[in-house]
Structures are given as structure tokens and as C-alpha cells.
Structure 1
Amino acid sequence: MAFDRKLLDILACPVCKGKLDYKANSDGEESLVCHFDRLAYPIDEGIPVLLETEAKAITSDE
């Protein structure tokens, strides 16, 4: 199941309420990234998991 990118217009980071960006890596893993908080929220079977406890910290380079 693919993530519907139209959702990016209405979804926000649960921590700062900021904009999220879609990112897919070469392994096929999808995530929504908040650059302000440097968190990547996983997308599981097309459904974003917007829980801070499930988010992965990212570096400023990512």
C-alpha cells in the first residue's frame, strides 16, 4: 500500500506542529521527516505512525 502524498497538506509534526516532508530510502523504507525537530516518523503499510516514541532521530545531513 503506497502512501498518499496528498496527506502532506494536512499532516503536521506532533511535537512542533510544523511541516513534514516525505522521504523514501533505497531500502524501500518510507518516512515523514520534521527537519526542525530532526525526527523521522515511519510509514507502516501506507499509514504514517505519528508517535514521538516511534520516531527516529536524524542528523542535520539527512
Structure 2
Amino acid sequence: MEKDLIDPKLLEILVCPLTKTTLRYDRAAQELVSEAAGLAFPIRHGVPIMLADEARALDQA
């Protein structure tokens, strides 16, 4: 899978594991962003890592 591509069908079913709200795909940063939780979940090798311990707080630069 090309680095900047993620399956659109996968994006439709994924939700934030903490808030159960929808996620926004940040293609440039390769992250799935949960505005409700204030977290960005990384995508590594095309696989979303949906663990809170692996997420980046949105207020971090």
C-alpha cells in the first residue's frame, strides 16, 4: 500500500476508541485525528494504530 493511501472503506468504519466519534484523516501527517478526544492516532505502513498510548495530543507541536 502506498504511504499516503488508506482504504476509504476503513475510514468509514473507524471511530475514536475513547469517544466513539468520527475521525478526520490527515494525509500529510499520516494520522487519524479525533477532535473530541484531542488526539491524533498514527498510521504506520498503512495501518492505523488506535491505541491511546500511541496517540499524540493535538496541543503538541
Q: CA deviation at 1:8?
A: 1.5
Shift of 1:7: 1.1
Q: Which residue of 2 aligns with 1:34?
A: 34
1:5 to partner: Cα distance: 2.2
How far apart, in 2, do the equivalents of 1:6 and 1:23 lie? 16
Q: SS of the residue aligned with 2:25?
A: strand
- Percent identity between the aligned chains? 43
- Hey, what's the Cα distance between the residues in 2 that align with 1:47 and 1:57? 19
List gaps (5 residues or longer) in structure 2.
none
Distance in 2, matches of 1:46 and 1:5, equals 12
Alignment of 1:11-22 (within 5 A): 11-22=14-25
**What is the TM-score of this pair, normalised by structure 2?**
0.82
Where has structure 1 moved over 6 Å in runs of 4 or more? none
Report the aligned-residue RMSD.
Answer: 1.1
Output the CA distance in 1 between the equivalents of 2:25 and 2:8: 8
TM-fit CA distance, 1:47: 0.5
Q: Which runs of 5+ in 1 are unaligned?
A: none
